[in-house]
Structure 1
């Protein structure tokens, strides 16, 4: 990845490069439209969303914030939550912001990969059902994907502007130069800082291939770039590290607590890969993951993804020059980001691999577009382009079906939370109040109450402390038919079935 200073200035693409159909902008607009039509309407808040929102909501008590979480997504939505409690407003705002972030993150790649290839990569990523469903959700994984895409592009534009520029798109003029200088360094630092703020461990995994690339070059520019990478991590991770010392007794202890919350992070390669395959098309959290594998037609793209990425790398190595770094670095970063979720956990969720999908879409799009452009003009090229469009249409059709199914599942689950909260309010529970038991966090947030747990991943208190609190504030214990256990202090309380929740019961004194 050795780079040479071409003497170009940070002025962006030429006027000729800006002419032509705004392909990437069209993809971003389509992404926004699909979100607004399919993922926003009638979706209440999910479990994790209620935790992140409660941290910055001035109207509700903050839920317990466990060690693995980071506060970046809470900071992102804080201005909206401060202005209005409307969930619909929040969803629409996030849908528009995520579409703009998709455009901004992939726009960095246009001088590196060409306009058509970049737009195709964005379409491949935005067309996934989990990408659409995550757009309006208060969850960090999609935003880490955008930050990772932007950081990798800025790194390449900073390190090797001459070698990595690849205007293979015929519409991109040959004299287009990749911008260099302080703006790309600032973009690299800001993107890594955003990733660290959103999820500090993921940002470290993202930065490892970049630091390795700098170490392989060993020149002054490499040292400068490595310093920027480390500076971005430090700036974004400072809040996480400070909270680790204040709340958990240090960074090492927070990592240990995070591992315990995740069920004990360790070598689980078989279980992690199996869980990722099983949860490919939902549910949104597969823990424990004992469901059947998805059908081949609905998982073929996932099985082919590593094969296509490997083929793109092999072609780039054979081609050499600028294509090598543009292909190898995003693949390396994608593998690094996926490693903890595929190898160290024994459960999975589709959103975990969103950053890897975003990065792998770039070399895959380059491989597909390159196969078309290498053909001679005329019928062969048109036939190859038509076949590529047909494959993309079939893939998007499958993803649209999965989107409808998972959006309906998410809607049913979140509606149950809201109905449980409404049931508690009808029973007279009002702030200040306390809710405990299974699913207490999202139900308590919807009811305007505090939440507490005595067991599980969100354990934040003891049964004795809860018993004392029940004498001071109105308290409810939720019970799920699948979990008949009640704390001793609530066994003499009165049960109240909560209609529309699938059999949940609230116990009140």
Structure 2
């Protein structure tokens, strides 16, 4: 009697999964694969990103929070202080940007390893290693690895949180207490870094605990909720002390972000993948389509990965990773009217798992087409990495050039007598002020933190400069001050300073 084709296929799938899991003792195998990925991730950051990378505008705001009160930049409603806490061990002892970059690059490598290590009992080592490699090879991941920005750390914490949740609900009660601890710490870290992301991450996890019968346990859900509240506690307290309540802070945050509501930003994200750190307003053309090819093709391996997971009886971890990844992407694709590639890093980290499962299966499934499929996958990945490297190189070059220009402007201000204690206002004042050792205070806009009278009063006590670019006129309070040309900047033509007498 001949064996039926479905039965044969089932045996092949079982053999494939067993071979992935049994090639070496699991802990050692996972440690080797994941360790290599984490080391490579760190090494590429240190070699290609850290040298010459200057502090960006948002970074300067976060870094300044751990400095003297006189130089702290205005901290607006949408921000959370988690990333400032992360870099405080370095900023408290040195103002070296290079030391800060190295610290974050090393920390990012370790965080990638730990986030993937959580999944070692859920998915085979080759799948996790490839998922880590796919995520780590994105120019966005490499670019923000050594930067003082929260999104990549949210991605690491989100990946670990989902893994810990799965381990907590799949294990017998009390058999995996470390999973519960990791679940609470993971969601708390996300909430500390970006409270809104914690809500979008926790929502599908809570729903999964309610919908899946064997996952209906009160303890993991309680840990998830308490961890989120604990992580967001500082933000909530600050909302009451500085904004008049949580709702008032949320309203202000929404206003700063252009209003939250139905806004299709998928096309903005696609255009921003050409290397723009922020696309607001995103009125640029689609200049380099090849940089977004992987994004447009992503649904294909994602769906195929879910199909493979179903055949290999890995639906639970892969499906939950997919759902949570899509959930954390929702606000940045559909609720705001601008784009920044870093916003989707948590989604990419989670969606890398089903994609990696699909690619591993293509390369290892017994078939006469296997060599051809494996070759196509390898060629495709090499091309993908080449494109990512090109975008990364341009982004790093732009950042380095901006840092050198900012340093030149700060040096010129010091030559003009604008030295600590001092105040700088106007165009790109945050970065210039921090580099010059001054406070940045804005008269208008989202970061408005001083009135014209207050700026005039500050000029009676300290050196004060107002920066203006292009054909803009200085504010009325500075129009009688002495005008001085500043070194040219690529993004700020006719840059000049109005210095108080």
Check whether TM > 0.5: yes
Match of 1:169 in 2: none
* d(CA) in 2 for partners of 1:48, 1:17: 41
C-alpha contact (below 8 Å) 1:189/1:232 kept by paired residues: yes
C-alpha deviation, 1:69, in angstroms: 0.4
Match of 2:227 in 1: 232
C-alpha deviation, 1:326, in angstroms: 1.2
* d(CA) in 2 for partners of 1:465, 1:282: 39
- 1:277 and 2:270 equivalent? yes
Task: Show structure 1 runs of 5+ residues with no match.
Answer: 1-12, 163-178
SS of the aligned residue for 2:461 comes to coil
* d(CA) in 2 for partners of 1:88, 1:286: 27
Q: Give the counterpart of 1:212 among 192, 201, 207.
A: 207
TM alignment of 1:19-168, pairs within 5 A: 19-20=28-29, 22-58=32-68, 61-161=71-171
C-alpha contact (below 8 Å) 2:108/2:146 kept by paired residues: yes
C-alpha deviation, 1:180, in angstroms: 4.8
TM alignment of 1:362-377, pairs within 5 A: 362-376=353-367
SS of the aligned residue for 1:495 comes to strand
* d(CA) in 1 for partners of 2:109, 2:456: 47
C-alpha contact (below 8 Å) 1:265/1:345 kept by paired residues: yes
Q: How many residues are aligned here?
A: 474
- 1:307 and 2:337 equivalent? no
* d(CA) in 2 for partners of 1:188, 1:246: 29
* d(CA) in 2 for partners of 1:226, 1:312: 28
C-alpha deviation, 1:60, in angstroms: 5.6
Match of 1:469 in 2: 458
* d(CA) in 2 for partners of 1:149, 1:220: 19
Match of 2:318 in 1: 327
Q: Deviations over 1:176-212 (max 9, x none)?
A: xxx9511000001101000000011111111100000
Q: Deviations over 1:71-92 (max 9, x none)?
A: 0000000010111111110011
TM-score after normalising by structure 2? 0.91
* d(CA) in 2 for partners of 1:371, 1:70: 42
Q: Deviations over 1:464-490 (max 9, x none)?
A: 322222222210000111x51311111
Match of 1:202 in 2: 197
C-alpha deviation, 1:265, in angstroms: 1.5
Q: Give the counterpart of 1:430 among 414, 419, 432.
A: 419
Match of 2:237 in 1: 242
Q: Give the counterpart of 1:443 among 429, 432, 440.
A: 432
Match of 1:350 in 2: 341
* d(CA) in 1 for partners of 2:215, 2:356: 33
TM alignment of 1:373-392, pairs within 5 A: 373-376=364-367, 380-392=369-381
* d(CA) in 2 for partners of 1:76, 1:60: 21
Q: Give the counterpart of 1:491 among 457, 472, 479.
A: 479
C-alpha contact (below 8 Å) 1:313/1:327 kept by paired residues: yes
C-alpha deviation, 1:458, in angstroms: 1.2
Q: Deviations over 1:121-160 (max 9, x none)?
A: 0000000011001011000000000001100111111112
C-alpha deviation, 1:290, in angstroms: 1.1
C-alpha deviation, 1:61, in angstroms: 1.7
TM-score after normalising by structure 1? 0.89
Match of 1:396 in 2: 385
Match of 1:501 in 2: 489
C-alpha contact (below 8 Å) 2:271/2:292 kept by paired residues: no
Across the aligned residues of Structure 1 and Structure 2, the Cα RMSD in angstroms comes to 2.0
Match of 2:249 in 1: 254
SS of the aligned residue for 2:149 comes to coil
C-alpha distance 367-188 of structure 1, shift in aligned 2 (>3 A) = same
* d(CA) in 2 for partners of 1:356, 1:121: 13
